[in-house]
């Protein structure tokens, strides 16, 4: 085996590990349906606010709501973006508390 032949399997493994982090997260239907449930309506409002914001609109986050408790998860590029996301969510009427599951890219 050539000395550099190990590189391809390593690169392939890294690609397999990284690709799921690039996927768009779709929360469970009951937490974002907006079909008249308060939690669904709140999730829809949060998604709208995050996507309309100039700083956060280019990123994709998972947002679920249960009883007014919002869980947000996903990768953020830096601390200012994370702070902005949490601020937008907390400023949304109806949010009781926020569970922060954001992580740095």
pLDDT at 78 over 60: yes
- The residues, any chain, with a CB within 8 Å of residue 54's CB and separated by 6 or more, are none
Read off the pLDDT of residues 21-30 as tens digits, 9 standing for 90 and up. 554 455 555 5
- Domain locations along the chain: 25-104
Please calculate the CA angle 59-41-101 and round it to the nearest 5 degrees.
40
Q: Please give the model's pTM, rounded to 2 decimal places.
A: 0.66
25-104 to CATH, choices 3.40.50.300, 1.25.40.80, 2.60.40.3080, 3.30.1340.30: 3.30.1340.30
Longest dimension (CA), the chain: 62
- Please tell me the least confidently modeled range out of 12-26, 38-52, 62-76: 12-26
pLDDT at 37: 85
- Alpha carbon distance 88, 14 (integer Å): 33
pLDDT at 66 over 70: yes
Please calculate the CA angle 90-62-67 and round it to the nearest 5 degrees.
55
Q: How far does Cα 6 stand from its chain's mean position?
A: 34
């Amino acid at each position: 085996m050539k000395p550099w032949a190990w590189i391809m399997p390593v690169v392939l493994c890294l690609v397999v590990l990284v690709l799921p982090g690039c996927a768009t997260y779709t929360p469970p239907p009951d937490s974002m349906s907006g079909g008249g449930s308060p939690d669904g309506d709140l999730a829809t409002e949060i998604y709208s606010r995050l996507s309309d914001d100039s700083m956060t609109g280019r990123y994709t986050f998972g947002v679920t709501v249960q009883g007014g408790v919002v869980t947000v998860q996903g990768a953020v590029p830096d601390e200012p973006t994370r702070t902005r996301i949490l601020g937008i969510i907390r400023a949304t009427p109806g949010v009781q508390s926020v569970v922060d599951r954001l992580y740095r890219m």
